[in-house]
Amino acid sequence: MPELRRDPIVDRWVIIAENRANRPGALVVAGHRDDSETSATGAACPFCPGNEAETPSEVFALRSDSAEPNSPGWRVRVVPNKYPALSRKPLAPNDQTTDVYRAPSETQLFSSAPAVGIHEVIIDTPRHVTTVAQLTNEELADSLAAICARLIALRRQPDLKHALVFKNIGRAAGATREHLHSQLMASHRVPPLVAEELRGAARFFEEQRQCVFCRMIDQERDEGERIVCESAAFIAICPYASRFPYEMWILPKQHASHFESIAADDLADLATLARSAIARIEPLSQPPAYNLVFHTSPFDSIAIEHYHWHMEIFPRLTIAAGFEWGSGCNVNPVSPEAAARALRAFSK
Amino acid sequence: MPELRRDPIVDRWVIIAENRANRPGALVVAGHRDDSETSATGAACPFCPGNEAETPSEVFALRSDSAEPNSPGWRVRVVPNKYPALSRKPLAPNDQTTDVYRAPSETQLFSSAPAVGIHEVIIDTPRHVTTVAQLTNEELADSLAAICARLIALRRQPDLKHALVFKNIGRAAGATREHLHSQLMASHRVPPLVAEELRGAARFFEEQRQCVFCRMIDQERDEGERIVCESAAFIAICPYASRFPYEMWILPKQHASHFESIAADDLADLATLARSAIARIEPLSQPPAYNLVFHTSPFDSIAIEHYHWHMEIFPRLTIAAGFEWGSGCNVNPVSPEAAARALRAFSK
C-alpha cells in the first residue's frame, strides 16, 4: 500500500510507493535500465488492441461499435494503473478507514497516512503512436472527452476531492510506456501545487474581484509577445515566469474553473488548438520529451469565480539540478518571449 | 543580466538566465546535444592545471606552494562561473541599485527584479576526477575548507544574505562539466526551500524549545532503521520523507546552524564520513548521477538555535515526471528504510 509521508521540517508530502519500483524502466540501477518492455510495440504492447487482457479490466471506454469490454473496437480505453501510486486498498485487513493519519506528537516527529485514491491510465488511441502530434484532431478530442467522462464519474465519489491528469511523453520526461496515454490520480487531497494556485487565485480575487488567470490572459493579449497561438475559445502562451525552456500553458479564454464542464463544441476546438501548439514543441528534442498537466478545480464545487482550469506543458530540454532541487527555484535559460517567438514562427 | 521573475499566481520565483543557454550541453535541442566540451579531459579541460586562463580569474585558491594566482600548484581553486545565473552587473548603465523590484500593480500583473548575486565554481581538485568517491579524504577536506573560506568571505558583504552550495555529478544530474566541482550561488534572497525550512524549524522551536533537526537525529538514533553510517561528529541518514530513492542527508550530531563555523577537526571527520556515505550511492547508477546540496543558515546571524545545517544528497535514479512537476509532490518507489538497509550493507 503506498504511503503518504510528511516531512518533519517543511510542509512537504511524498508518496512512498514501493510497488512502483517494479515498473519496467522505473529505476536506472547500475546502468541496467530495462528498455525492453517500454518500447514494446504491436503484439508485445499491452496498450495495443488485442492485448486488453494484459491490463487490469477497463473502467471506461469509447467504442465505435458494440464490442464487449476488454476487447478490441475501442477508440479510447481507461484502465486502472497496474503500478498505482494511490490505492483503494486499506492499510490492513482490520483497518477500514480511508485515511489513517498518524500525526506528529511530542515524542513522535514523523507522520504518515495511507496514500488512498485512484490511479488510472487513459489509453488515447488504439494506434501505437508515441506523441500528441501523431494523433488526429478527432482522436485527441476523443481522448479529452474520455478524461472529462472520468472526472465526471469520479467527482461523484464522496471521498475524492480532486484529480490530477497528466501525460509523460518520452523517456526524458519520465514515460515508462511508449504507447501514448494519460494518467489520472484522484484523491481526497488537493495536490500541493494546485492548492497553492487556488490560494493565490483566491487572494487575488479577494483584492481585485477578478480571476487572476482572466487578468493574465487580458494582459498577454495586450502585450502579445508571449502568445504562441489562439483559437476561438483557447489561447496558448509561454507564461511570464516559465520554469522550463518553451514551457507553454493552454487556457480557455472565457472563465471556466472545471475542465470537466467544457462544452462539446469547445472540446473539438481545444483538440485542434492543443495539437497545433504541441506540434510546435515536439521538434525541440529528438525524440520528443515533455510533460502535460491539467490543473483544474477540486470536485467540491461546480464552478468557482477565482480559479481557471488550464494545461501546463513542460518540454524537457534541461535537467533540474542541485540548485533547482536544493533551492526550490528554477533557472530557465530561454526567456518566454524568445520561446513564444520561436514557437509562433514554427510552421507545420 | 539574469532576471528574477515572480509567478503571478503562486509565490514562485524563477531565474531567467538566457546567457546560460550558451553553456555546452545546456539544452538538448533536436538531439544534437553537444557532449564534446563537457567530457573534455586533460589539455581540453578548463578545470585542469595548466588551463587556468580558460576560466575567469580565480577569487580564492588553496595552494601547497607559493605559485602565482591563476597558475598551476593549487589544491582547490575558486573562480567566477562563466555562465552565471546571478550577476553583479546592474541592469542598465544608469541603474546602480542592486535590486530594482518591479512590483505588481493594479494594471501590471507581472513583477521582476535583476537576479543579483555571485555565482562561483569551486574546483575540488586539480586531478580530472568525476565523482566524490574518487577524491581522497584529504582532497575532500580541502574542498570543504575552501567552501568555508568562501562563505566566510562572502558573508562580510552586506548585500549578500545567503549562499547555496551544491554539486551536480553526472549528466543525468545536470552536470555540464565533467571535472569534479561545486557551485556557490550567493544573493540577498534566501532560496525558497531554505526559507521554508527556516520557517518550519522556527515554528517547531517555538512550540517545543528544541531544534527540529536535533530531535530528528535523536529519533533516528533511537529507531536506527534509517541510519546509513556515523562518525564521531556526523550522521548520514535516509530521511523519513525522502523525495528520491536513496536520498541521504548528512548532519552534524551536535547542534550547528552555520556550516562555515565548523571546527577544523570536524572538517576532516566530515570529509571521511561524507566520502564513505557517498561511495555507497555512486554504484546505484553507471555512471554515477547525484546532486549534493548544502543547506545552511543565512549570513545575518552567527548562530541560531532553531536551524541546523546539513547536506542533502539526491541520487538521480528516477525522472520527476508530470505528476511531480504538476502536483508538487514526489513519488518515491524506494522506502528510506529499504534504502538505508541497502546502503548500510554496501561494503567498499
- pLDDT tens per residue across span B140-182: 999 999 999 999 999 999 999 999 999 999 999 999 899 999 9
pLDDT class for B23, splitting at 50, 70, 90? confident
Write the burial class of residue A92 (CB in 10 Å: 0-12 exposed, 13-18 middle, 19+ buried). Answer: exposed
pLDDT at position A37 over 50: no
pLDDT for res A32? 41
Least confident of A140-149, B31-40, B141-150, B193-202: B31-40
For residue B6, the cross-strand partners are B13, B111
How much of chain A exceeds pLDDT 70, in percent? Answer: 89
Write the burial class of residue A247 (CB in 10 Å: 0-12 exposed, 13-18 middle, 19+ buried). Answer: buried
pLDDT for res A64? 77
Q: Compute the nearest-CA separation of B319 from chain A (Å).
A: 5
If phi > 0 it is left, if psi is from -120 to 50 it is alpha, else beta; for residue B41 that is beta
pLDDT for res B36? 46
Nearest residue of chain B to residue A26 (CA atoms): B318
pLDDT for res A100? 47
Q: Compute the nearest-CA separation of B11 from chain A (Å).
A: 8
Average confidence (pLDDT) over A152-173: 96
Are B333 and A26 an interchain contact pair (Cβ–Cβ within 8 Å)? yes
Beta strand pairing call for B181-187 and B117-123: antiparallel
Average confidence (pLDDT) over B242-254: 98
Q: What is the DSSP letter of B58?
A: P
pLDDT at position B100 over 50: no
pLDDT class for A99, splitting at 50, 70, 90? very low
Residue scoring higher pLDDT (B38 or A180):
A180
pLDDT class for B26, splitting at 50, 70, 90? low
pLDDT class for A104, splitting at 50, 70, 90? low
Kindly provide the b/e burial profile for residues B190-219, where b requires at least 16 CB atoms within 10 angstroms of the residue's own CB: bbebbbbbbebbeebbeeeeebbbbbbbeb
Are A330 and B15 an interchain contact pair (Cβ–Cβ within 8 Å)? yes
Least confident of A31-35, A150-154, B167-171, B319-323: A31-35
Are B322 and A192 an interchain contact pair (Cβ–Cβ within 8 Å)? no
pLDDT at position B305 over 60: yes
- Determine the residue among A10, A119, A211 to mutate to test chain B binding: the one whose Cβ has the most chain B Cβ atoms within 10 Å: A10
Average confidence (pLDDT) over A175-188: 95
Question: Average pLDDT, whole number, for chain A?
Answer: 90
CB pairs under 8 A between A and B: 294
Nearest residue of chain B to residue A306 (CA atoms): B9
pLDDT for res B285? 93
Average confidence (pLDDT) over B310-329: 95
Nearest residue of chain A to residue B328 (CA atoms): A193
For residue A230, report the phi and psi dihedrals to the nearest 5 degrees. Answer: -140, 155
pLDDT class for A30, splitting at 50, 70, 90? very low
pLDDT class for B96, splitting at 50, 70, 90? very low
Specify the pTM: 0.92
Q: Compute the nearest-CA separation of B2 from chain A (Å).
A: 9
Q: What is the DSSP letter of A94?
A: T
pLDDT for res B43? 73
pLDDT for res A309? 98
pLDDT for res B105? 57
Average confidence (pLDDT) over A112-121: 94
pLDDT at position A170 over 70: yes
Nearest residue of chain A to residue B208 (CA atoms): A106
Q: Compute the nearest-CA separation of B65 from chain A (Å).
A: 33
pLDDT for res A208? 95
Q: What is the DSSP letter of A151?
A: H
pLDDT 10s digits, A61-73? 999 777 899 999 9
Beta strand pairing call for B330-332 and A13-16: parallel
For residues A339 and A247, what is the distance between their CA atoms, to the nearest angstrom?
8
pLDDT at position B61 over 90: yes
Rounded to 10 deg, the angle between the B336-345 and B264-281 helix axes is 100
pLDDT for res A86? 93
pLDDT class for B22, splitting at 50, 70, 90? confident
Nearest residue of chain A to residue B14 (CA atoms): A330
Provide, as residue numbers in chain B, all residues whose Cβ is less than 8 Å from the Cβ of A291: 321-322, 325-326
Are A9 and B166 an interchain contact pair (Cβ–Cβ within 8 Å)? no
Nearest Cα neighbor of B294 from B316, B336, B320, B261 is B261
How much of chain A exceeds pLDDT 90, in percent? Answer: 82
Q: Compute the nearest-CA separation of A278 from chain B (Å).
A: 15
Are A174 and B318 an interchain contact pair (Cβ–Cβ within 8 Å)? yes
pLDDT for res A173? 95
pLDDT class for A105, splitting at 50, 70, 90? low
Provide, as residue numbers in chain B, all residues whose Cβ is less than 8 Å from the Cβ of A188: none
Are B330 and A14 an interchain contact pair (Cβ–Cβ within 8 Å)? yes
If phi > 0 it is left, if psi is from -120 to 50 it is alpha, else beta; for residue A281 that is alpha
